[in-house]
Amino acid sequence: MADGRNVYAAILAGGSGTRMGNPEKPKQFLMLGDKPILAHTVEKFCAGNYFEKVVVLCPESWVQKTNDLLRRYCPEFCESVSVIAGGSSRNATIRNAIAHLCENCNINEDSILVTHDAVRPFVSHRIIEDNIQSAAEHGACDTVIPATDTIVRSEDGHIISAIPDRSELYQGQTPQSFNLMKLKALMESLTANEEAVLTDACKIFTLRGIEVALVRGDVSNMKITYPQDLRVASALIGHCRA
C-alpha cells in the first residue's frame, strides 16, 4: 500500500515466442536458470508485499498451464496472484486487468495500477517502489533510462529525416504505473482510430495533455525478446547466484 492507497499489479504475459524462435511456447514460459522467466517476474512483484493483488494476463489457452506453473515454482505467492486471459492487444490486455480488479477488488479513486512486462524479470524493488510513489504523486509514470546511442529518425526508412538531441531522449522500459480509475477513463475515451495507433498506455495520457512523470530505470531491467537476450539473462542469473 502507498499512503493508504490500494495498489495492484498487472503482469502482461500475452506475448508470443516468434522472435525467440519458438512459436510453440510464449517466451515468458521459457526457462531462465531453474524456473521460467514468468516465475522470476512474479516473485519480484510478490516478495516485496507491495500489492493487494497481482494479476497475470496470458494467452487464454495458457491460463491453466500458467496456474500450474505458479503453483510449482511460486507456491508461497499463489494466494495473492490471479491468472486471467489477456486480450488481442496490449490495450485490451490492460482493460481485462482493470475489469477483473474492478469486479473482484476494493478499487477506489486513489487506487494504483502498476503494469509490467512479464519478460523483464530483473526489475528491482527500488524501481517498483519508485513507480508506486510516482503514480501516487503524479497520476502516471513511465520507467526510462537515458538513450546512450545516437537516435536517427527516418520518415521513409531510407534517408535520414532528423537526428534528435540525445540529451532529451530516453529509452522506455516498464513498469508503467497509473491512477487506476484515471487510466480506465482514458482508455474508455479512445476512438477506434486512436485505439489502433495508441498501443502504449503512457502515450494515451500524453495525447490527452496529461503529464507523465519519469522514473529512473536500470540497464539491467532488460526485456528478453531474442535468443541472445536469453543468453545474457542466463549469464546474469548465474552471476547473481555465484
Instruction: Give the β-pairing of 170-179 and 112-117.
Output: antiparallel
Q: For the chain, first and last CA: distance in Å?
A: 33
Q: Is residue 166 one of the residues assigned to a domain?
A: yes
pTM, entire model: 0.93
What pLDDT is recorded for position 5?
72
Is 125 domain-assigned?
yes
Residue 170 to residue 186: CA distance in whole angstroms:
24
The strand pairing partners of 178, in sequence order, are 113, 140
Choice between 114 and 23, residue whose per-residue pLDDT is larger: 114
The H or E element spanning position 104 is helix 90-104
Any domain includes 204 = yes
Question: Does residue 2 have a pLDDT over 70?
Answer: no
pLDDT score at 156: 96
Tell me the residue range of the domain where 138 lies: 7-241
Q: What is the pLDDT of residue 77?
A: 95
> Residues 179-195: pLDDT tens digits?
999 999 999 999 989 98
The whole-angstrom distance between residue 125's C-alpha and the CA centroid of its chain comes to: 14
Domain count, the chain: 1
The confidence score (pLDDT) of residue 195 equals: 87
Q: How far is 162 from 142, CA to CA, in rounded Å? A: 25
Report the percentage of the chain scoring pLDDT > 90.
86
227: its cell numbers: 535468443
List pLDDT tens digits, range 37-87.
999 999 999 998 999 999 999 999 999 999 999 999 999 999 999 999 999
CATH code for the domain of 219: 3.90.550.10
Q: What is the pLDDT of residue 17?
A: 55
Q: What is the pLDDT of residues 201-235, one digit of tens each?
A: 999 999 999 999 999 999 999 999 999 999 999 99
Residue 16 is predicted with a pLDDT of 59
**Does 1 reside within a domain?**
no
Residues in the chain: 242
